Structure 1
Amino acid sequence: MRRAFVWGWLVGLSSVVGGASVATAQVDSAQVDSAQADSAAMEVLVEEDFESGAERWQPTDAKKWRVDTEGEGNNKNHVYHLLGKSDYAPPHRSPHSISLLKDTIVGDFELTAKVKTLQTSRAHRDMCVFFGYQNPAQFYYVHLGERTDDHANQIFVVDKAPRIKISEKTNPGTPWKDDTWHDLKIVRRVSDGLIEIYFDDMDKPHMVAHDKRFAWGQVGLGSFDDLGLWDDVQLRGVRVKAAATPSP
């Protein structure tokens, strides 16, 4: 039987910066099927505390990201600092500031992280997490906004068009507290399209959606146009490998 392939994009560092090309990748459909696993079958793929820098990450605008220290003495800690709105211009209305985890494509996954906003309070101050990232025009993201409307504090999909909300459940607004670290968890199950977002309360979803458009992709951190800190990122999931692209 002929093996079917799912064609997508494996985004390299040059692909998201300043108009450079995007590398093509192919993903075996059998791998996508095997990437649908329950939580017990997942392995820890990445544990990132930024103590050794951020070489695993590929930002849309490198000058807006750096590793900084927070605290003093024995409490000193390294964090991934987003310095404000990126100059990157996405092809469709969607966030500007994205830093993707390199060389890691997942199907089912659970991502946990600590996040802190450094933005002054305003309706749409936010931080975002990206997943199912196929290319700059096709991906999911969650916008953790201070106030909810059709364009904020929702789960969104970008699919060759400006982002649209796909949340079935959200809340009045993400309860950011100034100068406070928050716990975040993203759960993705490909088989039924489940997306769950947890914020501080790890027992009750902050947002819920179902969508099956993208069965695999990269994950990333960032914001629409604000600034903040990230730390202690852990990605558990089922890795999907991109096959080498045949020579023309």
Structure 2
Amino acid sequence: MHSNPSFPKICTRLITVALLMGCLPTLAVRADSPAESVTFEDNFSDGMDHWKTSDPDPVNKPFWKLESRTDEQGKSNPYLRCTGTSNYQPPHRSPHSIALIKDVVVTDFEFTATIQSTNRDAGAHRDLCLFWGYQDPSHFYYVHFGAKADPHACQIFIVNDAPRIKITKDEATGTPWTDGWHKVKLVRNVESGLMEVYFDNMDQPLMTAQDKHFTWGQVGIGTFDDHGNFDDIRLIGKPKADDSTTAKDE
């Protein structure tokens, strides 16, 4: 699950440049493309130093930790696990357990990951989440992969200095969870406001939304109040320019 044979061919030059600049090998800046982009990849082989969690006391009482599984070749592969509802209390009604990619702020982007829900008894609100446009704990978007859709589950939400509100345009009836791993993809275009969320089927979005409140922010993973696993993170996006403006006040 960790191998990505196309990445070395496409981004060898980028990684070399990043290493020469003293950057982490999972982060590369692409300056020779029409629109400068940043690429971030993490399979947690080097730990979780690239992530900032919402845990109030991550040293003494962490809700995020590294675990490993054995692949078909008998190799041990690490992944990031959220063990349950964090003690973090958000300023507005929104998810409790959040892990954000450090030091990467993007506008347009494509994000992919493999995720596994491990709470089969959670019922209709069995969930994992993805976050983007994250500017602070009161301003961000997230998608809730709930098992069954209702106004508070299996929706795309905005947190705009108020309790989360669903903004889903094309809704799903629910997320087809199993006990196995699933691939997810998130695509964001700030000019049109389009957000597309994919689950296993990378050709047909599970949900879409359209909103322009937040045109930049961090990207991350997590859950509202559940537990599950995350791996094979990949983010390709356009970095926020120094003169980019936030739409918080629009």
- Category of TM-score, reference length = shorter chain: 0.7 to 0.9
Say if 1:42 and 1:109, in contact at 8 Å, map to a contact too. Answer: no
- Does 1:48 find its partner at 2:47? no
Distance 1:44 1:74 in 2: 33
Distance 1:193 1:154 in 2: 16
- Match runs of 1:40-119 below 5 Å: 41=35, 43-61=37-55, 62=58, 63-71=62-70, 74-119=74-119
Give, in angstroms, the shift of residue 70 of structure 1: 1.1
Larger CA deviation: 69-78 vs 199-208: 69-78
User: Could you list the per-position Cα deviations for residues 170-209 of structure 1 after superposition, in whole angstroms to 9, with x for gaps in the alignment?
Assistant: 111000001x110000000000100000000000000000
Query: Which blocks of at least 5 consecutive residues in structure 2 are unaligned?
Result: 1-32, 244-250
User: Could you list the per-position Cα deviations for residues 68-111 of structure 1 after superposition, in whole angstroms to 9, with x for gaps in the alignment?
Assistant: 11127733110001000000000000000001111100000000
Say if 1:106 and 1:218, in contact at 8 Å, map to a contact too. Answer: yes
- Does 1:206 find its partner at 2:202? no
Larger CA deviation: 67-76 vs 217-226: 67-76
SS at match of 1:145: coil
User: Could you list the per-position Cα deviations for residues 96-142 of structure 1 after superposition, in whole angstroms to 9, with x for gaps in the alignment?
Assistant: 00011111000000000000011123110100000000100000000
Q: Superposition RMSD on alpha carbons, in Å?
A: 1.7
Distance 2:135 2:216 in 1: 8
Question: Which contiguous aligned blocks of 4+ residues in structure 1 show a shift greater than 6 angstroms?
Answer: none
> Aligned pairs, how many?
204
Say if 1:132 and 1:218, in contact at 8 Å, map to a contact too. Answer: yes
- Match runs of 1:1-248 below 5 Å: 41=35, 43-61=37-55, 62=58, 63-71=62-70, 74-121=74-121, 122-178=123-179, 180-240=180-240
| Equivalent AA in structure 1 for residue 196 of structure 2 | E
Structure with more contact order per residue of length (Cα contacts < 8 Å, sep ≥ 6)? 1
Distance 2:77 2:37 in 1: 26
| Equivalent AA in structure 2 for residue 51 of structure 1 | S
Task: Using structure 2 for the length normalisation, give the TM-score.
Answer: 0.78
Q: 1:109 to 1:42 in 2, by over 3 A?
A: farther
Percent of pairs with identical residues: 49
Say if 2:149 and 2:155, in contact at 8 Å, map to a contact too. Answer: yes
